[in-house]
């Protein structure tokens, strides 16, 4: 199943509610690190190291965001957004950010804007509490690199982390050796639950984490995607 086809169908349904095609304009641009995440105490977030970028799309007065490693600008109608082939991370990020903005405009989702300053640290603490309350002491497959979460969760749980960034792979981060994508299947099989970055819906690896173990996606990128498919999402400080 192509997950993006269903998202396009949902976007088409919403677009038919618009009375004037001339206002169906989506604009998007990559944000500066400070615009995206503010000024947190720690500096090891991928956004601050130039390894990831945040795309922000605007539809009327609503905004939606998506992480990507291929930033760029876009301006066009909803039809232009629907016409994207979604053949790479750039086009998928544009589409997902735009989809989030439109979903927010129609009241289908909230929390489509990334938290800032020291809220990521507070989010990690809330995630720890959430996991403890709902799963006790699970073995966690952590997909993506969110250092505040990894540091907090690794203090209490057995944790294996998979990331795509070559600079992280094989490195020891908070007592955890970061593993590469080739370890994904083994890590998922080992785990009791999966905590996966929402940007898996942009880099098209999301299919690796569905229907295998309980999975919780974190972050703003997957806001609209999770709403359409009914996936669990954790994003307590999204705006």
Give the whole-angstrom CA distance, residue 188 versus residue 160.
Answer: 9
What pLDDT sits at residue 1? 45
Q: Across residues 24-30, what is the average pLDDT?
A: 77
Confidence of residue 217 (pLDDT cuts 50, 70, 90): very high
pLDDT tens sequence across 218-236: 999 999 999 999 999 999 9
CATH 3.40.50.11590 domain span(s) along the chain: 119-234
* CB within 8 Å of 63: residues ≥ 6 apart: 56, 57, 101, 104, 112, 113
Q: 84 or 22: whose pLDDT is higher?
A: 84
Give the whole-angstrom CA distance, residue 99 versus residue 93.
Answer: 10
Give the whole-angstrom CA distance, residue 153 versus residue 132.
Answer: 10
Confidence of residue 95 (pLDDT cuts 50, 70, 90): very high
pLDDT of residue 17 exceeding 90, the answer is no
What pLDDT sits at residue 38? 83
Pairing of strands 62-68, 74-77: unpaired
What pLDDT sits at residue 49? 66
Q: Across residues 84-93, what is the average pLDDT?
A: 94
Pick the CATH number of 119-234 from 3.40.50.11590, 3.40.50.300, 3.10.110.10, 3.40.920.10: 3.40.50.11590
pLDDT of residue 18 exceeding 70, the answer is no
Residue closest to 10 by CA, chosen among 87, 102, 94: 102
pLDDT of residue 71 exceeding 60, the answer is yes
């Amino acid at each position: 199943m192509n997950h993006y086809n269903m998202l396009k169908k949902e976007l088409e349904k919403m677009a038919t509610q618009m009375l004037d095609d001339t206002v169906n304009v989506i604009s998007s641009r990559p944000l500066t690190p400070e615009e995206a995440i503010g000024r947190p105490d720690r500096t090891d977030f991928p956004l601050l190291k130039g390894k990831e970028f945040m795309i922000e799309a605007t539809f009327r007065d609503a905004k939606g965001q998506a992480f990507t490693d291929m930033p760029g600008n876009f301006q066009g109608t909803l039809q232009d957004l629907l016409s994207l082939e979604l053949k790479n991370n750039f086009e998928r990020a544009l589409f997902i950010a735009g989809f989030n903005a439109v979903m927010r405009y129609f009241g289908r989702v909230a929390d489509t804007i990334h938290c800032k300053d020291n809220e990521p640290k507070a989010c990690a603490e809330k995630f720890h509490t959430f996991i403890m309350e709902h799963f006790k002491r699970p073995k966690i497959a952590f997909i993506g690199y969110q250092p505040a979460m990894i540091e907090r969760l690794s203090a209490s749980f057995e944790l294996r982390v998979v990331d795509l960034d070559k600079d992280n792979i094989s490195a020891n981060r908070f007592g955890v050796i970061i593993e590469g994508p080739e370890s994904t299947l083994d890590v998922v099989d080992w785990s009791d639950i999966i905590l996966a970055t929402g940007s898996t819906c942009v880099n098209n690896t999301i299919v690796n984490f569905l229907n295998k173990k309980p999975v919780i996606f974190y972050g703003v990128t997957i806001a609209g995607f999770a709403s359409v498919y009914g996936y669990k999402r954790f994003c307590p400080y999204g705006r």
